[in-house]
């Protein structure tokens, strides 16, 4: 119980307190998702196609009796899709009781992020994926982009 | 959650449920009596009892403000009941009670929020007191306002010690009750005891006599104890047991018992027979036990009060169950149904001759079917509850807008799933308000001039039709002016095609777009331009649809279609390429292989199919959904004739797989953003093997493709 409380606290302001972030790769970029939103990470599963939805929504999967939509993060960010392999993962996130699976090339590691490593995103409207990034994390190994789970789920 | 005393928190839900139910009952009674413009004795008693219960349970929850407000009303009805004053200003009375009922309801709402602080009801109370004064002024026996029952006790209270009174009442048993230290509101607790034992007593007096009205009496009770003098109908033990079991009672003692031999005044305490001394110490010990069971006892008490108020004393055969539990049960049953299919249709069994197994499987199937039916029926609630709430709204608006309107119900016994009902209240309210405000003409003259009866009518009707419940909110008012709607929509930039391309039906449905409101003036009830938009959203949330139909000058119908149940449907599985779709059986009329002579093409090359002299449009599922089919040749695949809302069409799919009952899982809100519903997908379901199929919404397919 205390864990969840702790998480809710950090969620209020990740920018000022920092927290744990799961990193995953898409092409050359490293993205991060705040760990508090992640329900689980599963391997690629049979996906049921849902017609007439945007192409980045790949369909729905059966997650132990729950039907959740899955989206290709590559497609979402306007990149070419690559065939799924044994490293392809679905990161199941939940925001505001809405669950969604994110198909990513591979997951990396969990990183503890300090507040001073985090900076706000520059206001470039022209960058397509910018809307889905809530912050930039600078580490010794490079720049990581933090996904805005709310935007991902809501739009 | 420190708003309640420890041990009370568990009862908050119960309290809220109970009080809300009671307030609804109150509204119903008021509405009934107001339209009949007569207060029957029964109604007065009922109101009295409702207020009494609310007072009692509110006090127990420590919600003093609610308790005292309820008390004020109770007092008022006490006077009305006992003295039957001639009430000249009935309207004020109704206004007072309605107002109080609203305040209490609002308070209950507030109570459910975390940051609750009690509202001050003193203004409302003062109004009631003023009204009571008026009542009393008109009542001949005005000074006996506190009622006959209390009057003798009041005289008794006048003399400091209780003994002199016993001169007259020598056949009374007198008991002094002490409450636990710091249990708070001793007067109300005392009142609870009195209420409990009242039925079993031929005569009953108590001191202090003003426990109901005077909070100060609590102090007296703490100092001197609470003295009850009674003449029981049955054995004295019945009464003493009630007292023992009452909440927060620390101890009690006998002051006097019926004087058998002489009428002489009984000397206090010293004159007590030894026996009494003994019985005094025994119950004292006994009284400690209930103290520990306090929590259980108090729940019981609420239940008792609830039972009393509901059925006027008879045992009730209803229980209230947490909806979450019911949902869990439903989910569970859904899973069982799927699992049953997984077992009985297990691929491992293929080709095996298993007579006994088949027999047992059939039995299992029958039982799971029944189980499912029962669970579904548990959740079904008649619409009358939702309808009845509208009576109140119509009543209030009738007065405020000064329009004379009848509210008529039809088919209110129609049942729908509980989850549907919950989402139906707001839309219904909006629509009824709209009908009252915009629909019905402003004056009776206007109506008469149009050849309509002076009194307007709003009809709420409900009926079942092919697996759906249809609710119609109709009024016989002004109707909607299509030209006005179109102009307004244009002004607000809501039009998506040239004006002249809009059909009348399309125009009416513009009303339900966000940011549309035909009324220029914002009134208290409607006209903020959010109404119909919210209605549509709420209805769509539960898988339904709303449409508008109107004849300018004659009236407007709002038609709501909602699924009977959100949970389980009989479905036929069909394949299209690699995808599997489920079509609800109740919308399938037949399925067949196409014969060449049945196929017709119209001038634009659109395909149609002729069945028994009727022509139906053909919809290729793979085409509308952009899928890779196994067959594009119409003669190789299968044709399914479907019907919804009087419209029929033929769907073309690869093949039929079979029939199965499926548990409908709604789409994630994420997908709903992409109008999956409009594209003919109602939800999805998980099959026995764990794969997902999409359930088709035939109505939307026919309308939109």
Q: Do A46 and B668 touch (CB under 8 A)?
A: no
* Interface list for chain B against chain A, based on CB atoms closer than 8 Å: 335, 578-579, 624-627, 665, 667-671, 673-676, 679, 681, 684, 686, 690-694
Does residue B249 carry a pLDDT above 80?
no
Q: How deeply is B381 buried, as exposed, middle or buried, from its count of CB atoms within 10 A (0-12, 13-18, 19+)?
A: middle
Q: What would the mean pLDDT of B484-494 be, rounded to a whole number? A: 80
pLDDT given for residue B150 in this prediction: 40
CA atoms of B361 and B340, how far apart (whole Å): 8
Q: Where is mean pLDDT largest: A69-78, B273-282, B430-439, B476-485?
A: A69-78
Q: Do A65 and B686 touch (CB under 8 A)?
A: yes
Search chain A and give the residue with CA nearest B627. A51
Question: What b-and-e string marks burial along B36-47, b requiring 16 or more CB atoms within 10 Å of the CB?
Answer: eeebeeebbebb
Q: What would the mean pLDDT of A61-75 be, rounded to a whole number? A: 87
Does residue B210 carry a pLDDT above 90?
no
Q: Which CATH topology does B381-563 take? A: Heat Shock Protein 90 (3.30.565)
For chain A positions 57-96, those within 8 Å of chain B (CB to CB) are 57, 60-62, 65-69
Q: What would the mean pLDDT of A39-48 be, rounded to a whole number? A: 90
Of the candidate CATH numbers 3.40.50.720, 3.30.70.1110, 3.30.460.10, 3.40.50.2000, the domain formed by B150-311 belongs to: 3.30.70.1110
pLDDT given for residue B169 in this prediction: 47
Does residue B639 carry a pLDDT above 90?
yes
ipTM over 0.85: no
Per-residue pLDDT of B35-66, as tens digits, reads 776 677 788 888 888 888 888 888 877 788 88
> Which residues of chain B lie closer than 8 angstroms to A49, CB-CB?
578-579, 627
| Domain residue extents for chain B | 9-144, 150-311, 323-379, 381-563, 568-704
A46 touching B (Cβ < 8 Å): yes
Of the candidate CATH numbers 3.40.50.2000, 3.40.50.1000, 2.40.50.180, 3.30.70.260, the domain formed by B568-704 belongs to: 2.40.50.180
pLDDT given for residue B302 in this prediction: 55
pLDDT band at B260 (very low <50, low <70, confident <90, very high): very low
pLDDT given for residue B130 in this prediction: 82
CATH 2.40.50.180 fits A2-154, yes or no: yes
More confident residue, B526 or B182: B182
CA atoms of B498 and B484, how far apart (whole Å): 16
Q: What percent of chain B has pLDDT over 70?
A: 78
Question: Which of B622, B662, B692 is the best substitution to test chain A (most A C-beta atoms within 10 A)?
Answer: B692
* Distance of residue A138 Cα from the nearest chain B Cα, in angstroms: 31
pLDDT given for residue B164 in this prediction: 43
pLDDT given for residue B641 in this prediction: 94
Q: Is B619 within 8 Å of B701 (Cβ atoms)?
A: yes
Closest CA to B535 of B688, B421, B426, B630: B426
pLDDT band at B694 (very low <50, low <70, confident <90, very high): very high
* Distance of residue B232 Cα from the nearest chain A Cα, in angstroms: 55
Tell me the average pLDDT of chain A.
Answer: 81
* Distance of residue B402 Cα from the nearest chain A Cα, in angstroms: 45
Nearest CB among A60, A65, A98 relative to B669 is that of A98
CA atoms of B217 and B221, how far apart (whole Å): 6
Q: Do B679 and A52 touch (CB under 8 A)?
A: yes
Search chain B and give the residue with CA nearest A100. B670
pLDDT band at A67 (very low <50, low <70, confident <90, very high): confident
> Which residues of chain A lie closer than 8 angstroms to B694, CB-CB?
48, 50-51
pLDDT given for residue B78 in this prediction: 80
Per-residue pLDDT of B95-152, as tens digits, reads 888 888 888 888 888 877 766 777 778 888 888 888 888 777 654 433 433 333 344 4
Q: Is A155 within 8 Å of A143 (Cβ atoms)?
A: no
Closest CA to B176 of B166, B167, B185, B184: B166
Search chain A and give the residue with CA nearest B666. A67
Of the candidate CATH numbers 3.40.50.1860, 3.30.200.20, 3.40.50.300, 1.20.120.160, the domain formed by B9-144 belongs to: 1.20.120.160
Tell me the average pLDDT of chain B.
Answer: 75
> Which residues of chain A lie closer than 8 angstroms to B692, CB-CB?
48, 60-62, 67
A152 touching B (Cβ < 8 Å): no
Q: Which neighbouring-strand residues pair with B206?
A: B228
pLDDT given for residue B667 in this prediction: 84
CA atoms of B396 and B167, how far apart (whole Å): 55
Closest CA to A48 of B340, B637, B542, B681: B681
pLDDT band at A60 (very low <50, low <70, confident <90, very high): very high
> Which residues of chain A lie closer than 8 angstroms to B335, CB-CB?
65
> Which residues of chain B lie closer than 8 angstroms to A61, CB-CB?
692
From residue B654, give the alpha-carbon distance in Å to each of A104, B123, B576, B611.
33, 72, 5, 20
CATH 1.10.1760 fits B323-379, yes or no: no
pLDDT given for residue B682 in this prediction: 84
- Segments in B139-209 forming alpha helices (H): 150-158, 163-168, 186-198
Q: Which neighbouring-strand residues pair with B408?
A: B459
Q: Do A52 and B335 touch (CB under 8 A)?
A: no
A51 touching B (Cβ < 8 Å): yes
Does residue B181 carry a pLDDT above 50?
yes
> Which residues of chain A lie closer than 8 angstroms to B663, CB-CB?
none
Q: Do A48 and B681 touch (CB under 8 A)?
A: no
Question: In the block, which residue shows the tokens 């799919």?
Answer: B653
Question: What b-and-e string marks burial along B144-173, b requiring 16 or more CB atoms within 10 Å of the CB?
Answer: bbbeebbebbbebbeeeebbebbeebeebb
B205: tokens are 């007096």
Nearest CB among A53, A62, A154 relative to B671 is that of A53
Per-residue pLDDT of B58-94, as tens digits, reads 887 778 888 888 888 888 888 877 777 666 677 778 8
DSSP label at B657? E
* Distance of residue A57 Cα from the nearest chain B Cα, in angstroms: 9
């Amino acid at each position: 119980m205390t864990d969840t409380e702790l998480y809710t606290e950090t969620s209020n302001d990740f920018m000022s307190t920092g927290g744990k972030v799961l990193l995953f790769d898409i092409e050359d970029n490293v993205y991060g998702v705040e760990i508090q939103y992640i329900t689980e990470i599963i391997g690629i599963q049979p996906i049921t196609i849902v017609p007439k939805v945007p192409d980045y929504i790949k369909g729905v999967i059966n997650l132990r009796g729950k039907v959740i939509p899955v989206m290709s993060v590559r497609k979402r960010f306007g990149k070419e899709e690559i065939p799924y392999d044994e490293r392809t993962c679905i990161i199941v996130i939940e925001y505001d009781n809405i669950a969604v699976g994110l198909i990513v090339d591979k997951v990396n590691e969990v990183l503890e992020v300090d507040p001073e490593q985090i900076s706000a995103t520059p206001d470039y409207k022209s960058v397509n994926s910018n809307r889905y990034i809530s912050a930039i994390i600078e580490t010794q190994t490079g720049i990581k982009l933090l996904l805005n789970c709310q935007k991902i789920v809501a739009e | 959650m420190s708003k309640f005393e420890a041990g009370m928190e568990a009862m908050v839900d119960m309290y809220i449920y109970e009080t809300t139910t009671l307030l609804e009952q109150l509204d119903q009674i008021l509405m009934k009596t107001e339209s009949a413009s007569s207060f029957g004795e029964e109604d007065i008693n009922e109101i009295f009892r409702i207020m009494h219960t609310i007072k009692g349970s509110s006090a127990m929850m420590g919600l003093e403000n609610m308790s005292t407000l309820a008390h004020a009303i109770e007092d008022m009805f006490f006077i009305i009941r006992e003295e039957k004053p001639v009430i000249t200003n009935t309207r004020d009375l109704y206004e007072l009670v309605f107002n109080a009922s609203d305040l209490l309801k609002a308070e209950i709402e507030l109570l459910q929020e975390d940051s609750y602080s009690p509202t001050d009801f003193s203004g409302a109370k003062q109004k009631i007191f003023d009204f009571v004064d008026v009542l009393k002024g008109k009542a001949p026996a005005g000074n006996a306002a506190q009622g006959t029952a209390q009057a003798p006790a009041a005289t008794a209270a006048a003399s400091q010690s209780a003994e002199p009174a016993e001169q007259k009442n020598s056949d009374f048993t007198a008991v002094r009750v002490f409450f636990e230290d710091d249990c708070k509101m001793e007067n109300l607790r005392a009142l609870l005891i009195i209420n409990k034992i009242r039925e079993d007593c031929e005569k009953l007096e108590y001191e202090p006599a003003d426990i109901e009205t005077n909070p100060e009496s609590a102090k007296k009770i703490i100092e001197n104890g609470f003295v009850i003098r009674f003449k029981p109908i049955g054995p004295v033990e019945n009464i003493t047991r009630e007292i023992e079991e009452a909440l927060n009672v620390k101890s009690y003692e006998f002051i006097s018992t019926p004087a058998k031999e002489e009428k002489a005044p009984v000397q206090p305490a010293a004159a007590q027979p030894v026996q009494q001394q003994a019985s005094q110490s025994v119950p004292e010990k006994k009284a400690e036990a209930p103290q520990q069971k306090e929590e259980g006892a108090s729940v019981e008490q609420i239940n008792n009060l609830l039972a009393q108020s509901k059925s006027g004393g008879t045992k009730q055969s209803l229980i209230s169950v947490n909806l979450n539990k019911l949902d869990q049960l439903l989910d569970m049953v859904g899973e069982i149904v799927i699992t049953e299919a997984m077992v009985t249709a297990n691929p491992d069994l293929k080709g095996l001759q298993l007579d006994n197994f088949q027999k047992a499987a059939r039995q299992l199937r029958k039982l799971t079917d029944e189980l499912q039916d029962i669970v579904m029926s548990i959740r079904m609630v008649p619409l009358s509850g939702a309808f009845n709430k509208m009576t109140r709204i119509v009543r209030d608006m009738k007065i405020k807008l000064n329009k004379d309107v009848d509210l008529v119900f039809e088919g209110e016994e129609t049942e729908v799933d509980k989850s549907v009902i919950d989402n139906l209240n707001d839309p219904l309210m909006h629509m009824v308000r709209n009908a009252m405000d915009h629909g019905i003409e402003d004056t009776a003259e206007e109506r008469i001039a149009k050849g309509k009866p002076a009194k307007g009518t709003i009809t709420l009707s409900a009926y079942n039709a092919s697996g759906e419940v249809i609710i119609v909110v109709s009024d016989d008012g002004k109707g909607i002016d299509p030209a006005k709607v179109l102009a307004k929509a244009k002004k607000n930039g809501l039009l998506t095609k040239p004006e002249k391309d809009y059909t009348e039906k399309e125009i009416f449905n513009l009303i339900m777009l966000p940011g549309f409101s035909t009324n220029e003036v914002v009134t208290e009830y409607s006209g903020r331009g959010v109404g119909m938009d919210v209605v549509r959203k709420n209805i769509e949330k539960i898988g339904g649809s709303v449409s508008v139909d109107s004849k300018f000058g004659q009236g407007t119908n709002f038609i709501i279609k909602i699924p009977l149940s959100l949970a389980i449907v009989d479905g036929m599985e069909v394949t299209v390429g690699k995808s599997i779709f489920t079509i609800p059986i109740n919308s399938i009329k037949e399925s067949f292989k196409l014969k060449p002579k049945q196929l017709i093409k119209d001038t634009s090359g659109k395909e149609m199919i002729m069945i028994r002299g009727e022509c139906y449009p053909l919809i290729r599922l793979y085409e509308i959904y952009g899928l890779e089919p196994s067959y594009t040749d119409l003669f190789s695949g299968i044709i399914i004739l479907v019907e919804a809302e009087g419209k029929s069409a033929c769907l073309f799919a690869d093949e039929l797989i079979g029939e199965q009952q499926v548990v409908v899982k709604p789409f994630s809100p994420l997908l709903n953003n992409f109008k999956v519903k409009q594209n003919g997908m109602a939800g999805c379901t998980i099959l026995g093997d764990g794969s997902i199929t999409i359930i088709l919404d035939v109505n939307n397919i026919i309308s939109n493709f």
